[in-house]
A and B are shown apart, each in its own frame.
Chain A
């Protein structure tokens, strides 16, 4: 599903304007940019990126949003009472590039070219998520700070999203947790921040101990 259009692009990340106001893709979720065949690939590239922030601001950077709620009109009703908001606000989201799929091969490193400006951004299908996240090397690309959301929070959000999209895949979650523990081994505060926020609770890990991943 097409959800936005790229309005800023670099080799490591891009910013897209969401087609729907106030509904950027979930933090940490995977999005895909389809780039048509160019450099010797037969099927083109699917660039994969992880959503690193979302924001809704005035379309015009010099116009700040102001309070509009009253006793009777608040929350969603504000948008009914001020229909111009749909046109004067915009929702954008940033996404950090974490790899691509070319000729059916999953690569977890930066693509050679940034995604083209104004190209469409799609949500990744469950199948795409599953295939791309079978390997966990992409997580280290999320350690680089891109926006205001600190990398540990992006990591945690991504793991939560993928865990759900993979159908509560506990083996995957355990492997991801270990990968993150390795990546953040020199910063245990950040590490614990992530681990606390991806801890699924309840289920005993003993049932999956020794799982081979």
Chain B
């Protein structure tokens, strides 16, 4: 065993002691940060952020643009007597670089859970073998930009939304659509504009459809690592330029530096169970492409956890849709047996979407067999062989 467990365990001890030592200081800064959150004038902060944006001052962090009072908390309304929650999730067998055959498998799982008078549930998966050019390339005519890596990830997100949207067309009662993960597909932001547009087109189509159906959509992000609001507080505290910290002489320097290590989920610890925060706009660049579907977010205490919920602005702007969404998410979390809770619709969607190792092997074998029946041999790279046969 190359891993030297005994070495790690010695280091572990040092780490734990260090964390413990710094805990009081962290607690202190967290208190100060929360005081700060309460004291911020939302309008002034918004103006400051807007001003900076117009001045082309590059803020090196993602910041949150408050749509209202930062420390406001909104309790969850009651859900309607009858309603549905549609959760979706996706997984894939990615393209195998070591195989001579180019294909990937997309598996979208969704769960339609209906509550009320006639409880019902649909748990389904939509599986697709993707091997044609339009599946393999963003621009199939030119065989350009293969869909793999982050692009495949984005494709999965889009597909899952598209398929679950199609699946919920029969539903007549109030419905919300939940996705596991962000709606802000920031991973695409380094792609070319054409690529972004090509991939987001389907997303927007699905979102349009949902909007027409009056179904609020949300991305549910558990254990979020985002710091958008904390970063906004840093901007609020900053008396110079946020990109010139080395010149900073402010008395709030220490707090500002500490905020860099504080997550939003810690800041919003004051939310009571079921309560959500005010909506925030995101400064993520990808949102420039979203247009009418620009995404805002809020934090919410679902019980034992502060989660981040991302919603299109057409949801945030509609009190009814937002209320339904808020109520349904909290209701989902109360139905969850897990601690911290997790919406059952997403749980079941995940169960449907997940592809096990056995299934992966099976598909691989089936591909080889199918090709074999047509006289085609599958070649594998030497590296792949060595991974599969770990002889000594």
Contact = CB atoms under 8 A, between A and B. Distances in A.
From A66, A79, A81, A87, name the one whose CB has the most chain B CB atoms within 10 angstroms. A87
B351 A82 contact: no
Interface in B292-328: none
A87 B337 contact: no
5 contacts: A60-B351, A66-B337, A81-B335, A83-B119, A87-B121
A60 B358 CA distance: 14
Contacts of A84: 111, 113, 121, 123, 344-345, 348
Nearest to A58: B351
A66 to B, nearest CB: 4
A93 to B, nearest CB: 23
A83 B121 contact: yes
A67 interface: yes
Contacts of A68: 335, 337
Given A84-B348, A88-B348, A79 B119 contact: yes
A23 to B, nearest CB: 18
B19 interface: no
Nearest to B87: A84
Contact of B115 (A66, A67, A81, A86): A81
From A60, A63, A79, A81, name the one whose CB has the most chain B CB atoms within 10 angstroms. A81
B123 A88 contact: yes
A83 B337 contact: no
A80 interface: yes
Contact of A80 (B119, B337, B345): B119
A87 B123 CA distance: 7
Interface of B: 111, 113-115, 119-123, 335, 337-338, 344-345, 348, 351
Given A79-B119, A80-B119, A81-B115, A88 B351 contact: yes
Interface bracket on A: 10 to 19
Contacts of A80: 115, 119
Interface string A175-210: 000000000000000000000000000000000000
Interface in A83-114: 83-88
Nearest to A69: B337
Given A83-B113, A84-B113, A66 B121 contact: no
A166 B140 CA distance: 72
Given A66-B337, A67-B337, A68-B337, A83 B115 contact: yes
Given A80-B115, A83-B113, A85-B121, 15 more contacts: A60-B351, A63-B351, A66-B338, A81-B119, A81-B335, A82-B344, A83-B114, A83-B119, A84-B123, A84-B344, A84-B345, A84-B348, A88-B123, A88-B348, A88-B351
A85 B114 CA distance: 12
A87 B120 CA distance: 10
Contacts of B115: 80-81, 83
Contacts of A63: 351
Nearest to B331: A81
Nearest to A67: B337
Contacts of A87: 121-123, 348
A119 B122 CA distance: 25
A63 B347 CA distance: 11
A81 B116 CA distance: 8
A61 to B, nearest CB: 11
Contacts of A81: 115, 119, 335
Nearest to B120: A83
B357 to A, nearest CB: 12
Contacts of B122: 87
Interface in A148-195: none
B40 to A, nearest CB: 38
A81 B115 CA distance: 7
A86 B338 contact: no
A86 B113 CA distance: 11
Contacts of A88: 123, 348, 351
A10 B114 CA distance: 40
Contacts of B351: 60, 63, 88
